Amino acid sequence: MPDQLLYAIEVSLNGLMAGIMYSLVALGFVLIFKASGIFNYAQGVLALFAALTLVGLQQGQIPFSHVINAIFGTDLHSFGWTLPSVVAIALTALVMVGMAWLIERLVLKHLVNQEPIILFMATIGLAYFLEGLGDVMWGADIKKLDVGLPQGINETIDAVTFNAFGYGFFIDNLDIIAAFVAAALVLSLTLFSQYTKYGRALRAVADDHQAALSVGISLRFIWVLVWSIAGFVALVAGIMWGSKSGVQFSLSLIALKALPVLMLGGFTSIPGAIVGGLIIGMGEKLFEFFAGPLIGGATENWFAYVLALLFLVFRPQGLFGEKIIERV
């Protein structure tokens, strides 16, 4: 096989892997949008906050130590213990559930029945707040997240492809794990929503708020539930992205990468989020590979959006979105 083609295959495989990472973030968006019609801009910041909390708990940092030091002139830094990853992850999941409850209690409860744009703005405000809170609690320096996931080139794939084509593909172990995690996540979400009582309630709420209320489903509980699940998805995304590129502010910007994925897949479809992620990931990597050198590179910043935009012109509800029916 010619080299160029092999490179292209390698690039598209890596694109698919990157796409799965986008999908992980997009999943959280879809869950919340389906259940409450809220376009949750804060999903990326939730991932950042979860990752920060995880690192902080793991390393036994004292929360708010910067503020305490600044006010009282003390020199506090850490409790002096390190937690095993599993415990830290479980504790962070608890924190995210608490966060979901607080968000419902303090923000969403008061904004029921507002226009979508107001709710959207509120989540942007929430994103700002959480971003500031994360930095104030755990400090703004770049942190390394290590929960014991393998990283670096997968030797097996490298060796197999080298024997077959005379050219070893570079695929990161972490990306492969991310793919499996995403698959497991989608599977468990599907099972949860199809076969459990709360899953059924969730689907009822997604279908029709008022009808769900009238048969005795507590909307507020469902909202806490769905934000908790979204918080958990954010934690998973935070672990994956944090292991890949360190826990830092730019982690919150992956939310922006998840938006074209959503547009392409449709705001209301979980399979859409995965398929959209794969298309976007592969598309932008291939475009950068073929067209990037001709027009100056760094096309990944915008290509996903333009692709999604062009796509939407032909199918305004996205690939798997519910058909938009309008009546006067």
**Where on the chain is the footprint of another protein (CB under 8 A)?**
39, 66-67, 70-71, 106-107, 110-111, 114-118, 120-122, 124-133, 135-136, 140, 256, 259-260, 262-263, 267, 295-299, 301-302, 305-306, 308-309, 312-313, 316-318, 324, 326-328
Whole-angstrom Cα distance, residue 50 to residue 131?
A: 11
> What is the smallest separation between the CB atom of 173 and another protein, expressed in angstroms?
31
Which residues, 6 or more positions from 207, have their beta carbon under 8 angstroms from its beta carbon? none
> What is the smallest separation between the CB atom of 163 and another protein, expressed in angstroms?
40
Whole-angstrom Cα distance, residue 36 to residue 38?
A: 5
> What is the smallest separation between the CB atom of 306 and another protein, expressed in angstroms?
5
> What is the smallest separation between the CB atom of 64 and another protein, expressed in angstroms?
11
Query: Helices 3-36 & 270-290, crossing angle to 10 degrees?
Result: 150
Task: Identify whether the C-beta of residue 147 lies closer than 8 Å to the C-beta of residue 239.
Answer: yes
Residue 10 falls in which region: left (phi positive, over 0), alpha (psi -120 to 50) or beta:
alpha
**Which pair of structure tokens corresponds to residue 63?**
């929360």
| Cβ closest to another protein, residue 215 vs residue 325 | 325
> What is the smallest separation between the CB atom of 228 and another protein, expressed in angstroms?
20
| Cβ closest to another protein, residue 131 vs residue 175 | 131
> What is the smallest separation between the CB atom of 256 and another protein, expressed in angstroms?
7
| Cβ closest to another protein, residue 173 vs residue 299 | 299
Question: Could you tell me how many helices (H) and strands (E) the chain has, helices first?
Answer: 14, 0
Query: Which value, in Å, is the radius of gyration of the alpha carbons in the chain?
Result: 21
| Cβ closest to another protein, residue 69 vs residue 85 | 69
Per DSSP, the residues of 190-205 read: HHHHHHSHHHHHHHHH
| Cβ closest to another protein, residue 170 vs residue 302 | 302
| Cβ closest to another protein, residue 15 vs residue 139 | 139
Whole-angstrom Cα distance, residue 285 to residue 301?
A: 11
| Cβ closest to another protein, residue 171 vs residue 209 | 209
Please return the burial class of 107, using the count of CB atoms within 10 Å of its CB with bins 0-12, 13-18 and 19+: middle
> What is the smallest separation between the CB atom of 222 and another protein, expressed in angstroms?
21
